[in-house]
Chain A
Amino acid sequence: MEMNAKQHKYGMVIDLDKCTGCGACMVACMAENNVPFKKDETNKRDSITWMRVFKVSNGKSYPDADICYLPRPCMHCEGHDGHSPCVSVCPATATDYSQETGIVSQIYTRCFGCRYCMAACPYHARYFNWWDPVWPDGMEKTLSPNVSPRMRGVVEKCSFCFHRYQLARDKAIYEGREELAEDEYQPACVQACPAGAIVFGDLNNPDHQVTRIVEPDPHHHFTGHSKKAFRLLEQLGTNPKVYYISERQWVRKALDQYNFGSQAAAQGA
């Protein structure tokens, strides 16, 4: 694949050995993106969490017990030439794959809530607004003016804090620059992680840390050359832009069933 200098491919690397499961990324994401919440959030299947941290266990008892926390944002799948699972199915073009940034956007005002994209996403990264957002008294004043709140009946998801990209681009253009520096555009979750487990950057830029860590192969759908890097459900052809790294073999085995045998084997890991 020919790389265009102006074509970015923003992606993320999450070090599962560093993640402590503190949830700071989830909180930062919700605050940054005006993510609505309910009084009772115990049902995780109807609560909105753009960045969700899953807990995976090796299933063994003490002293061999081990736990891995897995933060899961939207994977911003590229699929084959931008035909990511959700983008290609949306009947109203309310979600789009940007060839300029590699970011899968969601146009809230165009979404009419058919939820086909949710059915298509194997990562459950898309959330439906089952309720209208209700903010506690006074909290409206703390909402970010850069992100439009969503109404009942539409789908929303992680945007890699796209508004931050827009702000950084505006600044760069004002200053007469074409390109952004690596640290100019970083999502809220990356900056909030106290363990520094999340790294973000342009996978097309060999100088960016994400590229150096995973060494993506542009000739093989950006599969990471690094032995400890993998992507969730890579075998499905979703071509996600979120990579995970871990030194622990059971973690890689449990999360990457394709390279380690069947789904059933992975679940029993």
Chain B
Amino acid sequence: MDSALFPKGVKRCPTWQFALWIGAAGIVLLWGVYAMLLCWLKGLNQTNMNDYYGFALWIWADLAVIALGGGAFFTGFLRYLVGKDELKNIINFAVIIGFICYSSALLILAIDVGQPLRSWFIFWHANVHSMLTEVAFCLSCYFAVLTIEFLPLILENRQIDKVPFFHNLSHNMHEIMAVFAATGAFLSFFHQGSLGGVAGVLFGRPFAFREGLFIWPWTFFLFTWSAAAFGPCFTIFLLKITEKITKKKLVRDSTVWLLAKISGWMILTYIIAKTADTIYWLSVTAPATGYTAGFFYDNWFYNIGWLIAEIVVGGFIPALILISKKGRQNPTTLFVAVLLGVLGVSINRWVMVLQVMAIPVMPFDTWALYYPSWQEVATTVLPVAYGIILVSLSYRYLPVFPNEVELNAPPEPAPAPEVEPDVPAEAAPAQA
């Protein structure tokens, strides 16, 4: 029924099947929308947040999706600025994931603030000393950049592309995409960093506070670094899930391996820096204010396991798998590595928000634990459903994967083995 809208030469599931799939995600989306409306109409008393947990599940979700959406800016940086041309095969997908992540973050923020209609005050009455101000400016600008990066892909829809104006617009936008990629990388460096700064500048919260360079705490650099490192993991993770669901190969292995290798080295260097930061913080920064290392993890829930899970399980292990040729070329270990990476960076964002709130700072205070209300959970699941719908629509109607047709063509002669992308492109054997 809608086959005229499909990209040229690809196969898609029947309309009824697609409608059922979208319908299922739509039900979850509506559940989230209902919870969102409750929060807007009745207020944040619909949540389990309280005066000890001013920041909770939503701020974690914001930080996590922005870190995971970092695949867009970093892949764009590698493709357009570093010149890793191979990544053109995955850049569209990375941009869509980034667009979903950033639009989700903005939506969650709009639910999270007590007076959403006053949100513009952050721009009008901007406090230049606040990390959150910089986050708001850069986040909004970068979302505009992502929209511009997403637009040419939408214009490449088979029917839209028939209109000469849109065809030319799309072509010309592609021509100048390096400018937007550079802008995106610049903006991302600052807002990812500022999100780290949000926690790092809290000198009243010894678990979060870090020293740093000039006005930037070390968390500023660590957050940017980790977003660049783990963002591609999330792109690969979602690609593999999409391939599983569609039962198709969508991106060349060589492209995935290249991105995985870069991600692995980024994770390894990041996690070494993070380990150094943790050691310095626990042995110098915190004790200087009267807090011992053991105190921060002296709780049945927030125990040392979180630190091990973040640094070892979600850091060193995926890094070592991804930097090893065998590790990244084995589909199972590759998937395990990117999954652990996604979990690792999510745990980092979790502790930098939730554990900060949980730890008693006043000597007579006690640990504060929290669990989210269903409204918080539903509004956090909402972006997942929205993401599924947007990826599904994009996959069905837009030429997201430039190699899809050739990768899924009926087998002819046996394909030559793939090679690592550091071999010059001309020397690489043609794909089947």
Q: Which residues on A are within 8 Å of B, measured CB to CB?
A: 43, 45-46, 54, 56, 70, 79, 83, 85, 88-94, 110-116, 118-124, 126-132, 151-155, 232-233, 235-238, 254-258, 261-264, 266-267
Complex Cα spacing A267 to B130, Å: 33
Q: A89-B201, A113-B114, A235-B288 are in contact. List 14 more A-B contacts (CB 8 A).
A: A45-B53, A46-B51, A54-B362, A90-B127, A91-B127, A91-B132, A91-B133, A93-B125, A113-B118, A120-B204, A131-B43, A238-B204, A258-B289, A262-B290
Q: Closest chain B residue to A269 by CB distance? A: B363
Q: Closest chain B residue to A45 by CB distance? A: B50
Task: In the A-B complex, list the 7 residue pairs whose CB atoms are closest, starting with the nearest.
Answer: A113-B114, A153-B114, A115-B54, A118-B54, A122-B204, A112-B118, A45-B50
With A94-B121, A122-B205 as contacts: A267 and B363 at CB distance below 8 Å: yes
Q: Is the CB of B121 within 8 A of A112?
A: yes
Complex Cα spacing A255 to B136, Å: 38
Complex Cα spacing A100 to B117, Å: 32
Q: Closest chain A residue to B363 by CB distance? A: A266
A85 / chain B contacts, CB cutoff of 8 Å: 202-204
Q: Closest chain A residue to B123 by CB distance? A: A92
Q: How many residues of B contact A (CB 8 A)?
A: 53
Complex Cα spacing A58 to B116, Å: 45
With A91-B133, A113-B114, A154-B115 as contacts: A262 and B202 at CB distance below 8 Å: no
Q: Is the CB of A114 within 8 A of B132?
A: yes
Q: Is the CB of A112 within 8 A of B290?
A: no
B53 / chain A contacts, CB cutoff of 8 Å: 45
Q: Is the CB of B203 within 8 A of A238?
A: yes
Closest approach, in angstroms, between the C-beta of B130 and any C-beta of chain A?
Answer: 4
Complex Cα spacing A8 to B89, Å: 64
Complex Cα spacing A232 to B361, Å: 10
CB-CB contacts of B16-54 with A at 8 A, as 1s and 0s? Answer: 000000000000000000000000000111000111111
Q: Is the CB of B115 within 8 A of A111?
A: yes
12 A-B residue pairs with Cβ-Cβ distance under 8 Å, sorted by A, are A92-B118, A93-B126, A110-B121, A112-B113, A114-B132, A116-B198, A131-B43, A151-B115, A233-B361, A233-B362, A237-B203, A263-B292
With A152-B43, A236-B289 as contacts: A93 and B204 at CB distance below 8 Å: no
Q: Closest chain A residue to B296 by CB distance? A: A263
Interface of B is mostly: loop
A126 / chain B contacts, CB cutoff of 8 Å: 51, 54
Q: Which of A88, A118, A254, A263 contacts B291 (CB 8 A)?
A: A263
Q: Closest chain A residue to B197 by CB distance? A: A89
Give B113-155 interface residues, CB cut-off 8 Å to A.
113-116, 118-119, 121-122, 124-127, 129-133, 136
A88 / chain B contacts, CB cutoff of 8 Å: 127, 129-130, 201
Q: Which of B54, B118, B119 contacts A128 (CB 8 A)?
A: B54
Q: Which of A56, A120, A152 contacts B202 (CB 8 A)?
A: A120
Complex Cα spacing A43 to B53, Å: 13
Q: Is the CB of B50 within 8 A of A112?
A: no
Q: Which residues on B are within 8 Å of A, measured CB to CB?
A: 43-45, 49-55, 112-116, 118-119, 121-122, 124-127, 129-133, 136, 198, 201-206, 287-292, 294-295, 298, 356-357, 361-365, 368
A115 / chain B contacts, CB cutoff of 8 Å: 54-55, 114
A264 / chain B contacts, CB cutoff of 8 Å: 292, 294-295, 298
B130 / chain A contacts, CB cutoff of 8 Å: 88-91, 116
Q: Closest chain B residue to A54 by CB distance? A: B364
Q: Closest chain B residue to A117 by CB distance? A: B54
Q: Which of B132, B290, B294 contacts A89 (CB 8 A)?
A: B132
A113 / chain B contacts, CB cutoff of 8 Å: 44, 113-115, 118
Q: Closest chain A residue to B356 by CB distance? A: A119
With A91-B127, A112-B119 as contacts: A263 and B295 at CB distance below 8 Å: yes
Closest approach, in angstroms, between the C-beta of A24 and any C-beta of chain B?
Answer: 21
Complex Cα spacing A166 to B172, Å: 62
Q: Closest chain A residue to B53 by CB distance? A: A45
Q: Closest chain A residue to B357 by CB distance? A: A119
Q: Is the CB of B290 within 8 A of A263?
A: yes
Closest approach, in angstroms, between the C-beta of B201 and any C-beta of chain A?
Answer: 7
Complex Cα spacing A263 to B361, Å: 9
A266 / chain B contacts, CB cutoff of 8 Å: 290, 363
Complex Cα spacing A89 to B83, Å: 39
From B55, B115, B287, name the one whose CB has the most chain A CB atoms within 10 angstroms.
Answer: B115
Q: Which of B51, B125, B204 contacts A110 (CB 8 A)?
A: B125
B122 / chain A contacts, CB cutoff of 8 Å: 91-92, 112, 114
With A112-B115, A119-B356, A238-B204 as contacts: A262 and B295 at CB distance below 8 Å: yes
B119 / chain A contacts, CB cutoff of 8 Å: 112
Complex Cα spacing A136 to B364, Å: 34
B205 / chain A contacts, CB cutoff of 8 Å: 119-120, 122
Closest approach, in angstroms, between the C-beta of B45 and any C-beta of chain A?
Answer: 4
B201 / chain A contacts, CB cutoff of 8 Å: 88-89
From B119, B136, B291, B356, name the one whose CB has the most chain A CB atoms within 10 angstroms.
Answer: B291
Closest approach, in angstroms, between the C-beta of B355 and any C-beta of chain A?
Answer: 12
Q: Closest chain B residue to A43 by CB distance? A: B50
Q: Is the CB of B55 within 8 A of A130?
A: no
B363 / chain A contacts, CB cutoff of 8 Å: 254-257, 263, 266-267
Q: Closest chain B residue to A259 by CB distance? A: B290
